[in-house]
Amino acid sequence: MRKWLVMALLLAVVIGSQYMGWRQRSDVSVTQEQVAGTPVRTYAPAGASRGVVIVAHGFAGNKELMGPWGYYLARQGFTTYVVDQPGHGASARPLPKWQGTEQTPLGDNLRALIDQLVTGGRAEAGRIALVGHSMGGTTVTQAALADARVRATVTLSSAYRQTLPADRPANLFSIAAENDPTFMVQAVKDLAAQAGGGTGELGVYYGDYKAGTARASDVIAGRNHITILYDTHVMRQTALWIGYSFGDKPEPAAVAFGWSWTLVALAGAMLVVVTLGTILAPREGRWTSSGPPARVGLVTAIVTVAVAAFSAVLACVYLRIPWPRVAVLDYLLPYFLVMTVVLLVLRLFWPREFGFPLGNSQGSAVLSFLRGGVLFLGFLGAAGPIIHMNVSNFLPTSVRVAAMVPVAVVFWLYFVQEEGLKRAVASGISGWAGALVGVIGKGVVVLTWFGAAALPNPQSFLPLIAPVMLGVLLGLEFFSYLFARWRYPATATATFAALLLAWVALVTFPLV
């Protein structure tokens, strides 16, 4: 009863924090709609609109990720449309090829949206601005190059490296983060040089707003590819640039985003999941060992995971194993499949050393699966809405749900092996040794993904995704340690981890 009371109090904290965060954003009207077949979140200013801004996210992003831009620009008086690009978020369209100079489908998609806004009287030619991050920077550049109705273009951490005419895109402001990939920083410097006739400098304004030839480039110190999105100085400079391009004299106001309430809500939601875990934990003494515990040394276990990881990289890079319908997961899924096979082979040939039990009980396998599934649903119910409102998508589209099934199965096959290995180490040394194997193993997994990045589609962005995925994997390791302490079967822990990681992957990575 006490645990249920604690859960109720934590849920009250989560709901209260979300409400306080909503109050800080309640001055902006937000609606969801489809415009020209593109999922759009519209942010309407409280007063008269000064013009329209369309915001495009980058690769593996979505309109929720760009939400702070919607709120900020709306508070500056701009009606702001934040889109889900093809292959991302709620879009049902596939991600087309877009990186070649002759490939402009993303820009064409944005122009179709502009057409419908102008035709419907919701946008006025000459008072339209485009803002794009990373891949979105290429998107808005493609659109603005071909559309004279666009009056201002701002690219963030983008790398459109082709030579641009002096008046297209009209009034171009290019910004990169100091810790962006080198080629992105160089692309921004090249645009500055081009604007200054070969000798242009960062932070210097060239051209004329009225003529549409204004040009400026800047590199923001101390920021990286993601943190640049939440830099209020960058947002303020963008709002100023758009305002001057529209012929205004803007005075952007400072804006608070209420991140503290978001952090409180997330902390409360994580504690809800932990509390649910204790409620579902098997009773002491109810579960018995499925056999004599295997004992595997700490170093042996770490070497085993490393061998499996590097074998997976070799298979992905040299055998070019494809996984249909998924872009970044082209090498992620076969990678985990090969790791699973290697661990199974080790168990097959050395059963005395690697014959660890896959579970720690003789109880029902169905009950174990249900435990893991209920914990996952608890996570979605408590933490999912917070992530959806502030960071990313909550529920994948129907296309992604279908893809999530094989993804979850592949992850489950690996996590069952990993859990068994960790528990074999823990039984011979202690619980901390099993957790250490998990932490080091997950670090090895993320590091070896860089080797797999030699595969096509796409090489350049994996280093940007890896730190996020490492954080997710370490979060899973925290739950794994708790579940082992609470005597959860390995199958239950693997089920929770597989479903959670598959959900993160399918709402983050784009489908082709």
What is the token pair recorded at 272? 């809800």
pLDDT of residue 352: 66
User: Which pTM does this prediction carry?
Assistant: 0.85
User: Which distant-in-sequence residues (6+ apart) come within 8 Å of 265 by Cβ?
Assistant: 13, 14, 17, 18, 21, 386
The mean pLDDT values, 10 residues at a time, for the chain of 512 residues are: 87 88 83 92 91 93 90 93 91 77 82 95 94 93 92 91 80 91 84 76 86 91 89 92 88 70 89 90 55 70 90 79 57 85 84 61 72 92 84 76 86 90 83 90 84 55 72 90 87 92 82 60
| Paired strand residues for 511 | 326
Instruction: Give the angle 499-501-502 at the CA atoms, nearest 5°.
Output: 65
pLDDT of residue 375: 93
Distance CA 437, CA 260 (A): 34
Distance CA 411, CA 408 (A): 5
pLDDT of residue 189: 86
Nearest residue to 305 (alpha-carbon basis) of 433, 437, 471? 437
- Walk me through the domains of the chain, giving residue ranges and CATH numbers: 36-245 (3.40.50.1820), 259-508 (no CATH)
pLDDT of residue 373: 93
Sign of the Cα pseudo-torsion (417, 422, 426, 428, in order): positive
Distance CA 491, CA 485 (A): 15
Sign of the Cα pseudo-torsion (323, 328, 333, 335, in order): positive
Nearest residue to 215 (alpha-carbon basis) of 197, 186, 192? 192
What is the token pair recorded at 423? 């528990």
